[in-house]
Amino acid sequence: MPTIARNKQIGHNFKILEEFEAGLALTGAEVKSIKTGHISLKGSFISIKDGQPYIKKLYIPIYSKASLQSTQNYNADADRRLLLTKKEIVYLSSKTNEKGLTIMPISVYTTRRLIKVKIALVKGKKKFDKREDIKKKDINRNILQKLKSF
């Protein structure tokens, strides 16, 4: 299960409440582009429209060896459909109606020949929450350094 892309800022800006695994509906050229490592999760989020989850602002550049015919109308930032069960879709849509909760992608990885997205139900952190996390990391780092010196 090699990870292709990771959203590095999610742990700093959001508190992860629950995680889910979802498939992505992609074309062949998009799959090849992702497997070569050309994908960006920066700024992407998930919305549920008409009972279907879509990942928005997921940047997948055009595959360099794709034919000209398939690349003429290609949009690298197009909305892509996520593949989840109905039960998960209903649960996530009800949770996103609550104030302050949203769905964000954490990472993109492969399992066998499939491309999967790890998504999470998250809540935004306030400034003081971020400061507390930084403080805890500093304290733990100092403790580990002192233990190594003994």
Q: Report pLDDT digits (tens) over 58-113.
A: 888 887 776 655 556 777 778 889 999 999 999 988 888 888 888 999 999 988 88
Whole-model pTM? 0.78
84, 22 contact by CB (below 8 A): yes
Mean pLDDT of the 14-29 span: 87
pLDDT at res. 68: 59
What does CATH list as the number for 3-125?
Answer: 2.40.280.10
Spell out the domain ranges in the chain. Answer: 3-125
Encoded tokens for 8: 């590095």
What is the rounded average pLDDT of the residues 19-23?
92
Q: Which two tokens stand for residue 38?
A: 């050309």
- Average pLDDT score over residue span 1-20: 84
